[in-house]
């Protein structure tokens, strides 16, 4: 069993791409090899089994979930008024469209979680932590609304993203920018 950490990471990243593009059905060692541009058989040398590979993907994908350092800093420095909310949400939305494959892979993993307790535990922990961080941040920022405000935002935006990624035609009459405005109006009522 080989242990080159960079190569291992590259293989996991390649597996995420494969998951998003070909679905769980297409996730094979050979497909990962091809995606990573390494010789056939390499993934066999780095993961004991397909399950092992999926577990490592679940552990690794959370780094693609959260905002990057730059984005966190921008949010930190933004004015703490309701007017800032649309900008934050728009930034989130842009990140999603950038990380399209990452979010699709995460959806595949969620479905995998219904079948594999190990994946369920890993993802639950990672996503809970992300949500809690958002709630804490929001409460500490002094912006209007309580923890359920953040949860409602999480719910709405999550499905807005799914709809956009999978069946963009469904909400053609209700584009994301519009729905973000609607949500802002609902959650942050005028004084």
Partner DNA sequence: TATATAGTACTTCGTATGTAGTGGTTGCAA
Partner DNA sequence: TTGCAACCACTACATACGAAGTACTATATA
Which residues form the interface with a second copy (CB under 8 A)?
21-25, 27, 104, 107-108, 110-115, 120, 123-124, 127-128, 131, 148, 151-152, 154-160, 162-163, 165-167, 169-171, 174, 178-179, 182-183, 186-187
Q: Which is nearer to DNA, 20 or 160 (CB)?
A: 20
Q: Which is nearer to DNA, 43 or 105 (CB)?
A: 43
- End-to-end, the C-alpha distance of the chain in Å comes to 63
Task: Write down the number of H helices and E strands in the chain.
Answer: 10, 0
Tell me how crowded residue 4 is: count the other CB atoms within 10 A of its CB: 11
Report, in Å, the least distance between residue 61 CB and DNA. Answer: 20
> What is the C-alpha to C-alpha distance for residues 101 and 23, in angstroms, rounded to an integer?
11
Out of a second copy, DNA, none, what residue 29 binds, judged by CB under 5 to 8 A for its kind, is DNA
> What is the C-alpha to C-alpha distance for residues 45 and 26, in angstroms, rounded to an integer?
19
Residues making contact with DNA (CB under 7 A): 2-4, 7, 28-31, 38-45, 49-50
Q: Which is nearer to DNA, 25 or 77 (CB)?
A: 25
Q: Which is nearer to DNA, 37 or 117 (CB)?
A: 37
CA 57 to chain centre: 13
Residue count (the chain): 191
Out of a second copy, DNA, none, what residue 41 binds, judged by CB under 5 to 8 A for its kind, is DNA
Out of a second copy, DNA, none, what residue 108 binds, judged by CB under 5 to 8 A for its kind, is a second copy
> What is the C-alpha to C-alpha distance for residues 47 and 28, in angstroms, rounded to an integer?
11
Out of DNA, a second copy, none, what residue 45 binds, judged by CB under 5 to 8 A for its kind, is DNA
Q: Where are the beta strands (DSSP E) in the chain?
A: none
Report, in Å, the least distance between residue 40 CB and a second copy. Answer: 21
Q: Which is nearer to a second copy, 76 or 98 (CB)?
A: 98
Token digits of residue 131: 């949500």
| Helices 117-141/100-113 angle, 10° precision | 130
């Amino acid at each position: 069993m080989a242990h080159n950490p960079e190569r291992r990471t590259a293989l996991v990243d390649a597996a995420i791409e494969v998951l998003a593009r070909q679905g769980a059905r297409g996730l094979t060692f050979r497909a990962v090899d091809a995606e990573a541009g390494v010789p056939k058989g390499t993934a066999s040398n780095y993961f004991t089994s397909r399950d092992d590979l999926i577990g490592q993907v679940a552990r690794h994908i959370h780094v693609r979930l959260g905002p990057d350092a730059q984005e966190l800093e921008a949010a930190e420095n933004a004015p703490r008024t309701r007017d800032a909310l649309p900008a934050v949400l728009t930034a989130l939305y842009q990140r999603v469209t950038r990380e399209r494959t990452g979010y699709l892979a995460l959806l595949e993993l969620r479905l995998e979680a219904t079948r594999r307790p190990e994946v369920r535990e890993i993802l639950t922990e990672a996503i809970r932590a992300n949500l809690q961080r958002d709630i804490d941040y929001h409460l500490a920022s002094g912006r209007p609304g309580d923890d359920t405000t953040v949860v409602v935002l999480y719910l709405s935006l999550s499905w807005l993203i799914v709809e956009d990624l999978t069946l963009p035609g469904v909400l053609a009459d209700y584009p994301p920018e519009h729905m973000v405005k609607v949500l802002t109006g609902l959650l942050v009522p005028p004084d």
